[in-house]
Structures are given as C-alpha cells and as structure tokens.
Chains A and B, each alone.
Chain A
C-alpha cells in the first residue's frame, strides 16, 4: 500500500515539470487539475482501504542521507490523515477545473499545486524525522510560492514574508524536538524513538517544542498572526487547501509526537494543550467577527476550529495520563472527527468565497449583498457550509462538538486539581465559541448573500461554472452524510484510537436507528438521522397542511420596514454595524475597540464619520517588540559591515579562540 501511495506522490512531482512546460497553453490548467483530481482520489481510496483493513505497511528507499535512507509507513493514523488530505485535495482540484480557467497567471500556480499536494502527503507518509522535516519544509515552501502567486496585489508580498518567517520558526521548533527525541544515539527512525521513549525532562521540552512547531503551522494563538494574512492571499482553491487541509497536517504532526512517539503522557501536558485550545477557539472567532473581508473571516475562523480540535486532543491526553482509556478514546475521536469535518466545510466555504470573488471581484462583504438572487446554487452550498461550521444539528459540525462536550462531562473523575478547575472553564470557552461562531456565520452569509446588492458588481454577478458547483455540492452532501450518519465515521476512526490508545469507542454500526452512543445509552445518545427526518417531516407536514387547508396566496409588495422603507441599499445593516453589539460586549476588553465619531458642526457640509479602532493586542505584545528588537540590533550590528581588513581578521581570530576555549572547558 505504501509503495502505491509513493507512486502517486511521484506522479504529483512529475506533474510539476509538465505544468511548467505546458503553462502557456490554454489547456494546461485542465490537464493539471484533472490529473491531480485523479491522483488525489486514488490516494483517498488507498487511505480508506488502509484504515478499514490493511495492516501497517512500510518501505525504505535509498534516498536522503546515505546512512539513514528514507523510511515511509502507513498506519491507521496516517491512513486517516491521507483520507482527509486527499479528499480536500480532490475537492480543490475539482473546483479548480472551473476556477483555475480564469486564473490570469497560471504559470505561477500550476507548477506548485501538485508539488504542494505531494509535500503534504509525504509528511503524512514519512517514518523518520529527516524525511518528515524535509517534506514539512517542502510543503511550507510550495505553499509560500502559492501565497505570493498574485504578488502584485496589495499586501500579498508582506503576507508571504510573514508566512515564510513563521513557517521557518515552526520548522526550527520541530527540528529541535526531533533532535531531542533522537537523543545522542542518532535514532531518527520513528520506530526506534518509539522503542526508547525519552526521559521525563526531555519529553517535557519535546512536547512544548512540538506544540510550538505544530501551532505555528496550524495557526494556534499566539502563533496565528500569519494565517489570516497568508490564507486569503492565495487563489481560493489554494486558500481552501491551506485552511482546510494543511492545518490538519500540522495537527497530524502534533498527534504523531504527543500520542505516538513520546510514550505515556504527564497530566500537565494536557493542561497546556487545553488552555491553548480554549483561548484559541474564542480568540479566533472574535477576530473573525471583527472582519469584513470574506476570505479573511474564514481564515480567522480556521483558528477557532483548530482550537476546538486541540481541546479534544488535550482532553484525550488528560484521560490517557490518568489511565481512563475509554474516555481518552472518546475525546480523541471527537478531536479527529472535527479534523475531518472541518476540512470538509472549511473547503466548501472557501470555494463559495472563491466563486463570489470570481463573480464580483470583491472580497469585502460591505460591497456585496443580494447574491442569493444572482447565484442561488452557490448561496445554497455556502449556507450548508455555514450551518455545518456553526455546529448546528443536523449537520456534521455539531456531532464533533457534541462528542467533545460528552468528553468534558466525563472529566470530573480526573484527580488533578489543576484540571478540575481548568476543564469547566475550557467547556465554557468551547460553548462560547460555538455560539459566537453561529453569530459570525449569520453575519458572513447574511451580509454577503442576503439583503439588497450594495454595489453594481454585486447586482450584476453571475452564477459560477459547473465544475466549481459540483465540488461545492459534493462537499455539501458530505456535510449532510457525516451529520446524519456519524456512526459510520466514528467507527472508521476506531483503528486510529486502537493504535494510539489501545481501545476505541463502542462500535456504533449495530445500534438501532443508527444512533450514536458514546458511553452508555442511559448517559447520552444522539441520532442525527432521526432529528433530520423529524425536522423535514414536520416542516413538510406544516407546509402541506397550511397550503391545502388554509391559504397559499402570495403577493409581492414593497418592504414594510415600519412604514419608512428607504430605497437606498446603504440603509441596510453592514458587516461592521452587524457586529457592533458584539464588538461592544467583547471587543472593548479583547481588542481595546474604540468608536470615534466625528460629527460636523451645524452648517458644515463635510460628511459625518464614524471610525472603529481595533488593536490586535497579541500582535502588539508578542510580535511588535521582536520587530523593534531586530530593528535595533541590525542598526547596531550594521557597523560591522564597514571594518578594515585587519579588524575583520582580528574578529575571525578571536572568534576561533573563543570557540576553542568553549570546547576545551566543555569536555
């Protein structure tokens, strides 16, 4: 199996040069994206087969460092992530078949797209630290190239620069983590790391480094600053891949280190992960609520969902540390199911934003509105994505959050006092983020798709092409299926939890009516299928009865609006005014949000103005000082560029003496 998967990766890599050659031809994007679609689908099937039946398979290739070789392996965990990555990749390729046709500089996108997909797959397949890190860096660089594809647009180059810095920082942290894991004996193979787990002190440093490394890629607060800049800058199908899929590769890296390589966890690791997850979830959604750029809003929302995933993983670590294997299986399943769900609906939403961008040329919600009339099918698919991501039943986002809540309800049995205080607070943060997410997506859908068009561009939008629509509807159907039949997906995750924890959640498939029962039926159960059927049934009964028995007459008229309808679309609520109450409630403390009104005196003809000032306190506290320090240090060190040759020689000589001294004292 792993051989076959590697063949697919080689196919991706060979597509890149073909794309370079072809890129001037008008058919290039069709060829590249269609081949990527086929390869990703194949890989997704391979992943699915490995997950359901095949035992782990491995292979060693005589590549990379001569004494090490490149090791690849597929086990249950990597098989699951193969499915997630390639399903997202397949949908993105499908979407790009239509969307990519309108790309004005295809030669900047096409060669890097298959290489990027290859990089993500190799990270998941890698079985030694060296291949893992090389693939990780390859993935970062190809995605950077895609972020700066439209380098002439405002801010994109800066976004790419910040992204490159953060990616490099993350890789550095992972490099150190793997170096510590390898220890003095050079065992870079995952297998030998597993055989000799590190000592407690080393493990503690490794988990912190792994958190920092994975966080920088996944966009966990406070390492999130690059994400909302970089994700929207890329073309929309790439944004979908970066937001929906690449963040999951980072989660994979963390799960691999924390659950697989490090051996038995210590309870305080979970506190770290839980606290970070909870804060990330709420901060991410609050940032998202303040945005009125549609793609940036979605990118910030990724930060929130990564927080939810980390809450699940943190709970699983806590339960594992205290030997509560069943509860750990529940929490890990919740986290991983959210990985799968988020990759689906986030890709769907980015596709919708891409379709809107194509049709109107606008990403700013303040310039949209009324698109549901002009783009009904896109609007429907986007609505499905909004309901799913807001964790509303009967779609899939709700299932994973529900499982996380059930895991939280099992946690009073944890005996550490720190966790006893932290877990309820994290539960409250999770509930808060779920409610705020719903508010955020009422805003995203309501302002862009509903109401009256705010600009001529929005009024003249046309429905997007059939390939893009097919990709969106495919993902919408997946959202519904994963929502009403979650049992199938929970069972599919059983091999993963079995491999990492030794147990899995109770088997769901045989239960009556396909109900989901995480622990015991008397404790909790949820049946998405029945809820869905009930809602559809009672809605249609009501519609049928009313139309038959009462009245079905309808008349169009002007809006009522309490008797004062104003024909100008500027009188509608905008994205900023919609978020104003929430900004006032949460933003004054979290963002130091301030509204400055400038009212001209009577008789003056200039317009009144209201400006909203929002400060990113994390940026101010964590990033701005670093930038100031580097500025200062480079200013001082600049002197070294203008020395005479004698001084340079002195400098080199004294450095040599110093290093030799250090070596002498060290040994």
Chain B
C-alpha cells in the first residue's frame, strides 16, 4: 500500500520531466510533485462560504477509494494478501465511486466552473466506463477470471500467445487510460483556461490539504492504469506468490522499469498530439468502446481469436 503511495508522485514527476525535455525546456526536478504535496499539506484551507460538509469529506473519500484501488493491483508480486477482496470490475467501480464524489464536489460550491467540470467529466465517464468494462470482459474471457492475480498468471503462462482480441483490448485500454487520467488530447492537466479544462475545473475551489489529497489521488490513478496495463499486457517478471527474494527483486526492478517506460511513452504521446475539442471526445471514446465490444464479440464467436 505504501509503495504505490510513494511511487505515484514520482511517476507524475517523470512524465513532467520528459515532457519538458521534449519541448527543450529544463522542466521541474523529478521530486517536485513531492514538494508540491508537502507545501499544500502545510497550508491552511480556504473554504467558500457556500461549501457544505460534503465538500470537506470528499477529498478523503476520493483519496481513500483511489488508494485502495491502486493497492489491490499486483505490481511486482502476484500473491497480494487481499487481492481476492476485489476483482478488476470492483476496482473499476471503486474508481467510479471516487469520480462520482469528485463530480459532486464540483457542484457543491455552486460556481459555473465547477458545474462545467462536473458535467463534462460525467459525459466522458459515461463512455469511458463501459469501454473499460468491455476491455475487462475481453481479458477476463481469455484468462477465465476477473481476478488480477489470476489474470496476470494466466498471461505469463504462455498459453495465450498473440491474439486479435488482446490487441484490440490493449488499444482500447490505452485510449481509456488517457481519458480517465485527464491527459491530452482529452483534457490538459496543466491548463487553467476555462474552455479546455475538465478535471481542473472540478477541483478549482479546493485548496491546501484538500487539494493535496486530490492531486495525490490523481497521481495514484495514473499509477493504477499504468500498473494494470503492465500487469495484463506485459506481466513478465511478476514474481509468483512463493517466489524467493531474488525473484521479488527482479520483479521490483522490472516494475519500476515498466512504470518508467509507461511515463516516457505517455509524455511522447502527449507532446505529439493536440488537444481535442470537447465534443470530439465522444468519438474517441466511442471508438474505444467499439474496440472493446469487438474484442468481446470475437471471443464469443471463437475462443481462440
């Protein structure tokens, strides 16, 4: 649990560094997200007059939900103590709960920016969530399970091989991850320009420790998605539950390498593409949904595709 918490800001920091270097900027140091968090935690909270008790509770709920979801993904060792307590569908739904509350927070103060963020966020989610579930269906039908540990073990076993449906699922999963993490071309994490922001508009009224928790939650969410992609599609190196210290060390090193590779790829992708208009997002996510559905359909038609 602590591991993901400590690694998450680093991942975001790495994406920022790589993006800055690609733009020939110096960029912030790798550890800047940690400093930001500590600075925010120390500051006092400024609450709007019209904010309710729910507004103050939501950062903790969002953080807790995302943290639990991120901790239940097998990272470098598959025999997690509690990994059976929630399967992949439940983890997605748990992140859905976090989003539900965050969208409520956007509406709580009663400003126009909060509303614009919430309403766009639920529109994006209404397509991203079914797309994610169809991806889960595709992978679960191949692995015969929705448990992440079992899925990862099945993927490493060599019984899978190259499959069309897996390719479709991977493509769709990448598209969904970009949307879910409010990345370019769906949303821009670095903007405060009113017509382009979604996630940032929702959390505009937050400050101090509340903002720190929400930022940390978004960093954890990015880590969650990179870990899920790593666990399902590049599971090599994950130590088995009875693995010895050597296997675990190799697994840990590979996991960090996978995260770094994911961060670099994300940064390259973000730099090479322009932001979309909001009403082109449904087409993007609709494509992801159709890819996921196509993957599932292929598996229903023939188990070997």
- Which residue numbers of A lie inside 8 Å of B, CB to CB? 369-370, 372-373, 376, 379, 383, 387, 390-393, 398, 402, 405-406, 408-409, 411-412, 420-421, 423-425, 427-428, 431-432, 434-436, 438-439, 441-443, 445-447, 450-452, 513, 515, 521-527, 530-531, 534-540, 542-543, 546, 550-551, 553-562, 565-566, 569, 571-573, 577-582, 584-585
A522-B150, A546-B41, A560-B205 as given contacts; A531 in contact with B64, CB under 8 Å: no
Q: Which of A427, A542, A559 contacts B64 (CB 8 A)?
A: A542
Q: Nearest Cβ distance between residue B144 and chain A, in whole angstroms?
A: 7
Chain B residues in 8 Å Cβ range of A369? 110
Contact indicator A551/B41 (Cβ below 8 Å): yes
A379, A409, A421: which has the most chain B beta carbons within 10 Å?
Answer: A409
Contact among A427, A436, A525, A561 with B84 in the assembled complex (CB-CB below 8 Å): A525
B115 to chain A, nearest CB (A): 3
- Interface pair A521/B126, CB less than 8 Å apart: no
Kindly state whether residue B127 has any CB partner on chain A within 8 Å: yes
**B36 sits at the interface (CB 8 A):** no
Q: Is B7 an interface residue (CB 8 A)?
A: no
A573 to B115, Cβ gap below 8 A?
yes
CB distance B107 to A450 under 8 Å? Answer: yes
Interface centre among B50, B54, B113 (most CB of A within 10 A): B50
Q: Return the chain B residue nearest A523 by Cβ.
A: B145
Chain B, residue nearest A399 (CB): B90
Contact B116 A526 (CB under 8 A): no
Which residues of B have CB within 8 Å of A566? 112
Question: Contacts A390-B100, A421-B297, A546-B41 hold; do A523 and B107 have CB atoms under 8 A apart?
Answer: no
- Rounded to whole Å, the gap between the CB of A202 and the closest CB of chain B is 32
Which residues of the other chain, A, contact B208 by a CB distance below 8 angstroms?
551
What residues of chain A lie closer than 8 Å to B106, measured between beta carbons? 446
Cα distance, A513 to B114, chains bound together (Å) = 40
| A370 B90 Cβ-Cβ under 8 A | no
Rounded to whole Å, the gap between the CB of B28 and the closest CB of chain A is 22
Contact indicator A393/B278 (Cβ below 8 Å): no
- Enumerate chain A residues within 8 angstroms of B127, measured Cβ to Cβ: 435, 585
- Find out whether the CB atom of A432 lies under 8 angstroms from the CB atom of B130: yes
Contact among A421, A515, A556, A572 for B47, CB-based, below 8 A = A556
The 9 A-B residue pairs with the shortest CB-CB distance in the complex, in nearest-first order: A573-B115, A451-B110, A446-B107, A539-B64, A431-B130, A553-B44, A439-B122, A581-B123, A435-B129
Q: B1 to chain A: which residues have CB within 8 Å?
A: 538
Indicate if B77 sits at the interface (CB-CB under 8 A).
no
A248 and B261 alpha carbons, distance in the complex (Å) = 52
> Which listed residue (A420, A431, A432, A451) contacts B108, Cβ 8 A?
A451
Q: For B140, what are the chain A residues with a Cβ–Cβ distance below 8 Å?
A: 409
- Do B61 and A535 touch across chains, with their CB atoms under 8 A apart? yes
Measured between beta carbons, the chain A residues less than 8 angstroms from B213 are 542, 546
**A370-B50, A524-B87, A524-B146 as given contacts; A565 in contact with B111, CB under 8 Å:** yes
Residues A431 and B134 in contact, CB atoms below 8 Å apart: yes
Give the A-binding residues of B (Cβ under 8 A).
1, 41-50, 52-54, 60-61, 63-65, 67-68, 82, 84-87, 89-90, 93-94, 96-97, 99-100, 103-104, 106-116, 118-120, 122-123, 125-130, 133-134, 137, 140-141, 144-147, 150, 192, 194, 204-205, 207-209, 212-213, 278-279, 282, 289, 292-293, 296-297, 299-301, 303
**Interchain CA distance A400-B2 in the complex, whole Å:** 32
What are 6 A-B pairs at a CB distance below 8 A?
Answer: A428-B133, A428-B289, A451-B109, A523-B150, A524-B146, A554-B45
Given contacts A442-B104, A539-B61, A581-B119, contact A515 B84 (CB under 8 A): yes
Tell me, in angstroms, the Cα distance from A578 to B106 when the chains sit together: 11
The answer for the CA separation of A566 and B43 in the assembled complex, in Å, is 26
Closest B residue, CB atoms, query A549: B41
The chain A residue with its CB closest to the CB of B149 is A522
Within the complex, what minimum Cβ distance (angstroms) separates A301 from chain B? Answer: 15
Which of A376, A398, A452, A535 contacts B110 (CB under 8 A)? A452
What B residues does A555 contact at CB under 8 A? 44-47
Cβ contact within 8 Å between B204 and A432: no
A566–B109 Cα distance when bound, in Å, is 12
A589 to chain B, nearest CB (A): 12
For B44, list chain A residues within 8 Å (CB).
Answer: 551, 553-555
CA distance A571 to B114 in the complex (A): 11
Inter-chain contacts of B41 with A (CB < 8 A): 546, 550-551
CB-based contact B122/A442 at 8 Å:
yes
Inter-chain contacts of A543 with B (CB < 8 A): 60
Instruction: Give the most central of B43, B44, B126: most A CB within 10 Å.
Output: B126
- Least Cβ–Cβ distance between A84 and chain B, in angstroms: 24
Chain A CB within 10 A, most for which of B61, B96, B116, B150: B96
Are B87 and A573 in contact, with the CB atoms below 8 A? no
Collect the chain B residues with CB atoms within 8 Å of residue A434's CB.
Answer: 129-130, 133
B96 interface neighbour in A438, A539, A573, Cβ under 8 Å: A438
